[in-house]
Amino acid sequence: ELVNLNEMFNYVLDRFDMVIKDSEKNYVIKREFTQRAIWVDIDTDRMIQVLDNILNNAMKYSPDGGTITCRLLETHKNVVLSISDEGLGIPKQNLGRVFDRFFRVDKARSRAMGGSGLGLAISKESILAHGGNIWAESEENKGSTFFISLPYEPYEEDLWE
C-alpha cells in the first residue's frame, strides 16, 4: 500500500518516546528529517516490525541516556532511513554477520538481554522483499548506524512543488 514514510516513522518514534517515558529510561530520540511527505509502496506492518527491532536494538545495546538519531534522506532513486546509537558498537569482522539467523556478537551478554538473535535476519528478509537493502556501519565503543534503503520514485505531484 502507498504510505507516507515520514508519517509512519514519526508514529513509530512517538511510540518509543512513550515507552521510554513510561519505563523511566533516559534515552533521547532525535529526529533529523524533513516533515515533507515521502510516499512509498510498502507493507506497513512489516516495516514497523523492522523499525521496532532496530530501535529496540539501539536501546538494548547502548547505555541509558544515549542519543538515538533518526534520519530520512531522499536520493533520486531511493529513500534511506538511518538509526544511529551511541552504544557498544559491533566489531568490524561481525558487521555482515549480524543479519544472519541466530548470530549474536557476544553470546553470554546477548542471552542475558533476552531475545533470540532473529530480529535482524527477519528485518533483512522484509527489506529485501521490498526491493530494498539494509546494512550497518559501526565503531566499537562509539556506536552503530543501521541503514535501510527503499526504492522510491518521487510522484509527479512532488515534482510540481
Task: By CB under 6 A, name the binding residues for ligand ATP.
Answer: 53, 57-58, 61, 85, 87-88, 90, 98, 103-105, 110, 115-121, 144
Q: From the list Mg ion, ligand ATP, none, which binds 19 (C-beta under 5 to 8 Å, kind-based)?
A: none
Q: From the list Mg ion, ligand ATP, none, which binds 61 (C-beta under 5 to 8 Å, kind-based)?
A: ligand ATP
Judged by CB, which is closer to Mg ion: 119, or 152? 119
Cβ contacts of 71 within 8 Å, gap of 6 or more: 32, 33, 80, 81, 82, 83, 84
Burial of 24 (0-12, 13-18, 19+ CB in 10 A): exposed
Q: Helix (H, G, I), strand (E, B), or coil: what is residue 98?
A: helix
Judged by CB, which is closer to Mg ion: 2, or 108? 108
Cα 109 to chain centroid, rounded = 22
Q: Taking CB under 5 A as the rule, which mask of x and - marks residues 117-156 in contact with Mg ion? A: --x-------------------------------------
Q: From the list ligand ATP, Mg ion, none, which binds 48 (C-beta under 5 to 8 Å, kind-based)?
A: none
Query: Which 50-89 residues touch Mg ion, going by CB under 5 A?
Result: 53, 57
Longest dimension (CA), the chain: 55
Closest by CA to 72, choosing from 157, 136, 134, 148, is: 148
Rounded Cα–Cα distance for residues 62 and 32 (Å): 20
Residues that bind Mg ion (CB under 5 A): 53, 57, 119
